[in-house]
Structure 1
Amino acid sequence: MTSPDLTFVLGGARSGKSAYAERLAAASGRPVTYIATARSADADPEFAARIAHHQACRPAHWTLVEADAALPQALRAADGEQHCVLVDCLTLWLAGLVCPVEGGEPPPSAAASRFDELEAALSGARGRVIVVSNEIGLGVVPLGSLTRHYVDELGRLNQRVARIAREVTLMVAGLPVAVKPGPTRP
């Protein structure tokens, strides 16, 4: 099943995926809700600077929703027929599921059940949805079981979203490469 108006934007770090997704959202001509998935970066000044950079790039009139594990619920709440929802990004959302700040190890099925919830929310969306994620599976198999688990889970999640998306774009050096071409956009 393909979602009616779901665009999936993938890429590596600093590939231009967020900027591209923001341009798509702005070009939609619809009210935009930006769902941020990054956790607070109080203890990490470099990550806090990354978040500040993303905040500065977004138009002030966009609605901001900060979602944690409840991304599917946030997506449903923001969705509307004449709205555009931009989720940035699945990579950080999954990190919160796999490596929770408090409470130790998540149950092994935590990610799978959340993937089902997210897929249902995306498949049922009535408006335009743009989802951003990192493509991190192009390198060597990482050392450490937790890192391998994370890479595997993100690969599974990306495949699920790509399968239901109408359009999939891979960002390479700031250039969009159509992986699953969708409708022509302005």
Structure 2
Amino acid sequence: MTSSASTDGLNAIIAQIKDKKHPPVHLWNPEFCGDLDMKIARDGTWYYLGSPIGRKPLVKLFSSVIRYDDDGKYYLVTPVEKIGITVEDAPFVAVEMFVEGSSQDQVISFRTHVEDFVIVDKEHPIRLTIDASSKEPAPYVLVRANLEALIIRSVFYDLIGLGVEKEVDGVRHFGVWSSGEFFDFGVMDELFEA
């Protein structure tokens, strides 16, 4: 669902982002305590021992202490322990988009399934990958510290609706503007080939 946020709406999102304090997991360096049978599915559902975790406050708590390390693995981190978990795709799912302004002046923001908000800017870019075999697009937005959200299909369609062409070195590219930055999804002819 795409919402057209007023200036008050964008200011509310900015205030919520500033007020939301995540634990400083990037500063903690506890001992590795092993892997836990915990998984985040591609749709954002958290599982423990093969069963979905139905308590949203518990999922939000776990999501506040997740970290992605240079070894390519995800961990739940506290000051005293570091536990490995499995993430099928991305730890977050962007389920709602807000747009203020238009063209190069527009600002795009997302809400994740765990109530994190992110404004798309230079520090929180959108990227698009295309599966080599299926040709299916997978769009992501950086939420915080190496942690991305997969943008759900319906929201991605709305995002594509905001897309524009931009010439880069004589080649037509397709992407979106947010916070004064152009986020390039790729070459027009390759993205929209027949």
Settle same-fold status: TM greater than 0.5.
no
- Structure with greater proportional helix content: 1
- Structure with greater proportional strand content: 2
**Structure 2-normalised TM-score?**
0.25
**Structure 1-normalised TM-score?**
0.26
Higher RCO (Cα < 8 Å, 6 or more apart): 1
